[in-house]
Structure 1
Amino acid sequence: MVLDIVATDNKCISPNGLRVLEKRYLRRNGDNQLTETPEYLFRRVAKSIASAEQIYDSNIDLNAVEEEFFRVMANLEFLPNSPALLNAGSNCEQLSSCFVLPVPDSLEEIFNCLKTATAICKNGGGLGFNFSNIRPKGSPVNSRVGVAGGAAALINIFAQATDYIRQGGIRCGCNSVTLSIDHPDIFEFINLKKDPTVLNNFQNSISVTDNFMAHLKRGENYALRNPSTGEMAKSINSSDIFNLIVSQAWSSGDPGLVFLDQINRYNPVPDLGYLDTITGCGEQALLPFESSMLGSINLAKMISTDRTGPKIDYAKIRNLVPVAIRFLDNAIDINYFASSEIDLATKLTRKIGLGVMGFADMLIMLGIPYNSAAAVEAAKSIMKCINEVAHDTSHKLAKSRGTFPAWPLSIYKQREFIMRNASCTTIAPTGTLSIIAGVSSGIEPIFAPTFIRNILDGEKLLEINPYFEETTRKYGVYGKDLLEQLILGTKLSDIPNIPVDLQKIFVTAHQISPEWHVEIQSAFQQFTDNAVSKTVNFPNTATKEDISKVFIMAFERGLKGITVYRDQSRALQPLCSSELGLDLIRKRWAEEMESYS
């Protein structure tokens, strides 16, 4: 049966959200005709995830559980990661979004790893790799001198393979590759993205330790070591290598930094292994072969209004979190895994990651500028609530379903506190999920009140922030001229007759100082089990010294990682302001005027 997406769609989804669903998620028949609406998609996912309840209670009312899962998704209050939307209820239910595969220094094992990676990639999973165990370029192989290709060459092979297989058949891979700061190939790795056409499906990060940062602070030399032998390969000036990282990050946004010692201070199962690999956009550190289910609460839906005005609805958050945690835990039990090692490692710790999206929109609704102490306090308060309820829910699930099998090796055993999941919270970037929900991405500030979004196959969507439109209409300043100036990159503060309080509330990513970006990330990180995915956005005029300061600040503030991006440092950005948007604005305005006539 072919369905009319417009006629049968859930009314709270925006036109751009519908477009993304249509292009990426809704099912089609052999003639490429839609056979599913958003309502059917959410029903399919809810039914599949609810089915796991029977494992633990044969008398459970599955319809009631399904209805609860359906309601929170259909109301756009909570959405699971993309693979769950794509694959739940299919013949290949790979539901997790994050996977870590070890990359041993053995040709046979390397290509076994690549085989598993492609299987994960084709079903929509994102991958994390650490190439720090690969012998350096020019090392001997089987007594043949100087033949090893090194880490950088191998990364290119992985990138080409995963780029060839579009994730889930609908998008390029969201993958992460890490190399240790003391690897002899580190210079080549740092410069991998000097060519802007390569590694577009990989986020490159360098793992650094407290020891390296101490050497950097003192301006001392630092040893590069051959991972095969442990011997020192070279002594380098720590400032020289740090400055090279800063320079390349300024030029392309890569590499970012991962602070391994900070990550492992919060390792929930330290006796099981050392965390040295991150996934996707850096939000999740996992052990070899682990995977994780992620999901996000839409904070824009967590607002209530009384006589005093809008406020954060903590009661609604406390009611929603248990539903989301149960959803994510259920998904582990019906998940398809590409290998027995992934199945075993995932179920050993049952890691999940509940996060948020729409934080910037929530602040706008509350009248709080993103770059303010009030925003930092809101971030702490919200995430503290989510994290506490998530842990309490996991504790209650452990009572009825049992602890994760590795619990005796965990920090919770030391506290005599049972848990169903080794970790419960993560802040993911929510790229396409936030478009479906019609809100700002993750915990990022708004990019602009109106901008162009580049999506799959080069299609360009005009985005006008709905809260900006509503507010400027109320103030009587909304109009085509205003939108045209904004789409060309004019700052709201440079446009006449815009009230100062609007300029403060609708502050954009490039107007916010780097320090405030880090403060917000730090606020969320304090109450998040795993890591926080966030990009510190810089204007095009930012200097390398600005990048350097943020890297140091991130380390000093106890972040687990840091990513930066200077505007227009890449030829193609997912979000942009340009003259290309003028035609879209004029078309939108003409349609609006026609609707009034």
Structure 2
Amino acid sequence: YNQSTEHIKQGGTRRGANMGILRVDHPDILEFITCKTDTKEITNFNISVAVTDTFMKAALNGEMYDLVNPRSGKVVRQLNAREVLHRIAQCAWRNGEPGLFFIDQANRTNPTPHYAMIEATNPCGEQPLLPYESCNLGSINLENHLTHTADGRYEIDWAHLERSIRTSVHFLDNVIDMNKYPIAAIEKCTKDNRKIGLGVMGFARMLFKLGVQYDSEAGVQRGEQVMKFIAEVGYDESRRMAEKRGVYPSWKGSRHEARGQRVRNSYVTTVAPTGTISMIADTSGGCEPEFSLIWFKNVMDGEHLPYVLDLFIETAKREGFWQEGLLDKILANHGSARGIPEIPERWQQVFATAHDIAPEWHVRMQAAFQNYTDSGVSKTINMPDTATADDVMAAYLMAYELGCKGITVYRDGSREEQVMNVGVSAKEKAAPATAAPSATTRITADKVMEQLVAAHAPGALPAKLERPTRVSGETIAINTSYGKMYLTINSLDGQPFETFATVAKAGGMIQADLECVCRLISLALRYRIPMHEITRQLIGIQDGNPYGVGANRVLSLWDAIAKALASYHPPEQRQESAAGVLAARPEGLPCPDCKSPLVHTENCEKCYGCGYSRCW
């Protein structure tokens, strides 16, 4: 399954995701617990252990428990529960996996036990599902549901939030009927139970604006208050819809029937991680705290994109403690405001980041949201690199006692490559401090230039050709994952002399990168560095967003430029391998917004030029 997922890409750019869950009483449980000790194996799976109440009680008491053959039902062995739980904690301490799934707790709140029992969750763990059920999730941006008070502060706009909840419940219910399902069993189970999962994102940003500390009683109470409101309004809307459309088909015999609740959906609320959509919405993810006030995200082959929390800068200026160099101090402080004397104590506490927060507060916040969430809550219990396996054990026990349905811990630095970091890895600690980000370098252009110069002449460079007032050339249109790129190659005396490139409606970093590379190429050409040396440095560069297939495949903007330049060579220099690379694949229909070709993927038409999408 892992290898199959490796070869099945979502739109050719994103791996699929799987969840592997094994019951703690399975005979192979010890092998399963350690199966991801090598993080380079089973890379397309998250793994969790489904622990039962019986196991947890045995672990608390230091007792033995049974391993049962799932086929025969016979006991095949006994293990010490506390030792097994400690082994799980040790593995999680080492690299964040496995997580725990409290399967009996999940089934206690299963609304349709007569239909089927819950066995596993989706890959992020927030959606315990019956066999063949599917996720149908939506998240409300809490940061956008605030209003200014007369004194310029913020408060929650409950009326606006209620409207968003009712609209979202209606929308998510519609999705169930309008969706196209891959197999009949998924369609039947999804429509029989009509689970929807309405959750949140932007909770941490909301607390920032409200001036409420995340790791405090007030923060936990605010989380519980918001989720309670979403649950109450969401169920009221589901009840209203049941009056018009009817209850969900498996309602007869359900816990809802037993309570006399006629509702349209068997689940209404879920708190998903919203990792990608929260970045698109420029807000914090799910119910998580901000990772850092300044951070870098590792994307596509080791590139680092910097992010700065603008809200902190706005607050610092409004409250009068902004000063030059403050961001550099925060970066040197691992992205945290706490402990920096120039920042008032109150705002040090309000602008809490994930690693400022003690693990017990992480667990308490998860439990606060879980209290009013039908399904599960996707949340990471962040721990400092000094945490021990016993600290992980303590978090497990606390999550179980507070009624969470699962728990995932992550100790800072326990994986060689984190998805997010604040700019200083273990390998970089001996290096000079990095300044706060002001711009982004997507490729190491200076190194490319150094290699070009070294390849051409170990000694002095020839004199640079001066640019005439007028030169001529041609412009080539190349289809890429970011839209159509227009590459202009001007020549002088029959030889390429300079390059310019632009991508349809692109801006920011993409256009800046193109300008950087084209300037370097032009400079190299004016120093008479042979074209084949330039293209050799650029051909094959990947950015994780390929376009086309076979010989027409374009691996990146830089790869496309190199192949276009190679095809521009005189016959004696032209590389046969570059022939025909500009044909690319046939264009789809033009994007209605930017006219770049639409790509059909994931049952949608998408434009990588401007972000337009249309789903069927």
Residue pairs, 1:562-577, within 5 angstroms = 562-577=407-422
Q: 3-state DSSP class of the match of 2:439?
A: helix
The answer to whether the 8 A contact 2:328-2:436 is kept is no
1:162-241 matches, cutoff 5 A: 162-241=5-84
Asked if the contact 1:175/1:203 (under 8 Å) is kept, the reply is: yes
Residues 480 and 586, structure 1, Cα contact 8 Å, conserved in 2: no
Find the aligned partners of 2:43 and 2:339 in 1 and give their Cα distance.
35
Secondary structure of the residue aligned to 1:192 is coil
Q: Which residue of 1 aligns with 2:582?
A: none
Which residue of the partner structure matches residue 109 of structure 1? none
> Please, which of 387, 400, 405 is the counterpart of residue 555 of structure 1?
400
The C-alpha deviation readout for 1:113-134, integer Å capped at 9, x for no partner, is xxxxxxxxxxxxxxxxxxxxxx
Equivalent residues in 2 for 1:112-511, closer than 5 Å: 158-308=1-151, 309-478=153-322, 481-490=325-334, 491-511=336-356
- Secondary structure of 2:139's aligned partner: strand
Contact in 2 for aligned 1:177/1:202 (Cα 8 Å): yes
Unpaired segments of 5 or more residues in structure 2?
442-507, 509-616
Task: Tell me the distance in 1 between the aligned counterparts of 2:201 and 2:149.
Answer: 24
CA contact (8 A) 1:209 1:260 kept: yes
Moved more, 220-229 or 169-178: 169-178
Correspondent of 1:585 among 427, 433, 437: 437
**Contact persistence 1:171–1:456 (CA under 8 A):** no
Shift of 1:528: 0.6
Name the CA shift for 1:319/1:277 in 2 (closer, same or farther; >3 Å).
Answer: same
CA distance in 2, matches of 1:586, 1:395: 51
State which of 495, 507, 518 in structure 1 corresponds to 2:363.
Answer: 518
Structure 1, residues 196-243: CA drift from partner, whole Å, max 9, x if none?
A: 212232211000111111111111111111112112221111121111
Work out the CA distance in 2 between the residues paired with 1:211 and 1:280. 25
| Post-superposition offset of 1:317 | 0.9
What is the CA distance between 1:330 and its match in structure 2? 0.8
Aligned counterpart, 1:52: none
Distance of 1:431 and 1:469 partners within structure 2 = 23
Local SS of the residue matching 2:265: coil
Asked whether the 8 Å contact 2:321–2:344 carries over to 1, the reply is no
3-state secondary structure, aligned to 1:216: helix
- The separation in 2 between residues aligned to 1:173 and 1:487, in whole angstroms, is 33
Residue identity opposite 2:135 in structure 1? S
* Deviation of 1:487 (Å): 2.9
The one-letter amino acid of 1:585's match is P
Is the 2:338–2:356 contact (alpha carbons within 8 Å) kept by the matching residues of 1? no
Matched AA of 2:358: S
Counterpart in 1 of 2:376? 531
Structure 1 CA distance for aligned equivalents of residues 319 and 154 of structure 2: 18
Whole-Å separation in 2 of the counterparts to 1:166 and 1:584 = 35
Give the C-alpha shift of residue 485 in structure 1.
Answer: 3.3
With a CA cutoff of 8 Å and minimum separation of 6, indicate the structure with the bigger relative contact order: 1
Superposed displacement of residue 292, structure 1: 2.4
**2:19–2:47 Cα contact (<8 Å) kept:** yes
**Conserved 8 A contact 1:292-1:350:** no
Q: Deviations over 1:25-69 (max 9, x none)?
A: xxxxxxxxxxxxxxxxxxxxxxxxxxxxxxxxxxxxxxxxxxxxx
| Superposition deviation, residue 564 in structure 1 | 0.4
Instruction: Work out the CA distance in 2 between the residues paired with 1:288 and 1:456.
Output: 34
AA paired with 2:242? A
TM-score by length of 1: 0.70
Counterpart in the other structure of 1:92: none
Could you give the per-residue CA deviations for residues 347-367 of structure 1, whole angstroms, max 9, x where no partner exists?
111111000001011001000
Q: How many residues matched?
A: 433
Which runs of 5 or more residues in structure 1 are unaligned? Answer: 1-157, 592-597
Paired with 1:167 and 1:262, the residues of 2 have a C-alpha distance of 33
SS at 2:206 equivalent: helix
Question: What is the aligned counterpart of 2:385 among 535, 540, 543?
Answer: 540
2 CA distance for matches of 1:322 and 1:586? 41
Give the greater-gyration-radius structure (CA).
Answer: 2
Partner of 1:122: none
Letter of the 2:405 partner, please give it.
Answer: K
Q: Say if 2:338 and 2:352, in contact at 8 Å, map to a contact too.
A: no
Partner-residue secondary structure (3-state), 1:371? coil
Q: Distance in 1 between matches of 2:324 and 2:41?
A: 39
Once the two structures are TM-superposed, the CA of residue 511 in structure 1 deviates from its matched residue by 1.3
Q: Which amino acid aligns with 1:259?
A: F
Contact 1:488–1:578 under 8 Å retained in 2 = no
1:503-560 CA-partner distances (Å, limit 9, x unpaired) = 1011111111111111111111111110111110001111111111000000011111
More helix by share: 1
Alignment partners' CA distance in 1, 2:42 and 2:324: 39
Equivalences for residues 71-150 of structure 1 within 5 A: none
For 1:319 and 1:497, the matched residues in 2 are separated by 41
User: In structure 2, what is the Cα distance between the partners aligned to 1:338 and 1:587?
Assistant: 43
Residue identity matched to 2:377: V
Question: Quick one: percent identity of the two aligned structures?
Answer: 43
CA distance in 1, matches of 2:180, 2:302: 32
Using the TM superposition, give the Cα deviation of residue 378 of structure 1 relative to its aligned residue in structure 2, in angstroms.
0.7
Asked if 2 retains the 8 angstrom alpha-carbon contact of 1:397 and 1:420, the reply is yes
User: Hey, what's the Cα distance between the residues in 2 that align with 1:587 and 1:173?
Assistant: 31
| Residue 456 to residue 442, structure 1, CA distance change in 2 (3 Å) | farther
Q: CA deviation at 1:457?
A: 4.7
In the TM superposition, residue 162 of structure 1 has moved relative to its aligned partner by 1.2
**C-alpha distance in structure 2 between counterparts of 1:169 and 1:342, whole Å:** 24
Residue 161 of structure 1 aligns to a residue whose secondary structure is helix
